[in-house]
Copies of this chain bind each other. A is one copy, B any other.
Amino acid sequence: MADIKPSTPSLFLREEELRKGTELLYFAYRDFIAEPDDALRKYGFGRAHHRVLHFVARRPGLSVADLLDLLSITKQSLSRVLGTLVGQGYVRQEKGTRDRRQRLLYLTEKGSALEAELAAIQRRRMARAYREAGADAVAGFWRVLAGLIDESRREEIERFVNEA
């Protein structure tokens, strides 16, 4: 076992570079999420509520099943969060016209306002990072992040994030 060192395939694939990416991803994600978390606490909500608000804002009229698929959680986990948001008038549910079993999700005005508040917080931080890093860096940021996504869902997710 001794003396066998892994060959160094190329400069940016060395262990240190990979570790650096892992650590930066951890620290960046943590700080990025912390600010909206604080804002959410004022409403008695958590980040799970934020995710629902975000995706409903992004895809008004999406079904519960589609939301579950995006979030990759169980319906039981979603139910409490979604129930609260509906109960407190942030999200509205409408029966599907094509398939009346579906409950299509929409933000109310109140929901839109909260979502906008949270989105503004994240846009501010993301904009600062983009501005400091520059347009080329941003393109690289996207490319690497996309590469971290599970191969099986990669195309679907890329289509989603690129859609208007």
Q: Which of A81-89, A104-112, A120-128 contacts B (4 or more CB under 8 A)?
A: A120-128
B133 and A140: CB pair below 8 A?
yes
Chain B residues whose CB sits within 8 angstroms of the CB of A10 once the complex forms: 135
Interface centre among A13, A34, A133 (most CB of B within 10 A): A133
Give the number of copies in the complex. Answer: 2
B148 and A28 contacting across the interface, CB-CB below 8 Å: yes
Mask of A47-80 contacts with B, CB within 8 angstroms, 1/0: 0000100000010000000000000100000000
Residues of B within 8 A of A11 (CB): 135
Band of interface residues on A: 35 or more
Q: Known interface pairs A28-B148, A147-B128. Does A138 touch B17 (Cβ–Cβ under 8 Å)?
A: yes
- Kindly supply a per-residue 1/0 record for chain A positions 2-35, scoring 1 wherever the CB is within 8 Å of any chain B CB and 0 otherwise: 0000000011110111111111111111111010
A residues adjacent to B (C-beta < 8 A): 10-13, 15-32, 34, 51, 58, 72, 119, 122-123, 125-150, 153, 157, 160-162, 164
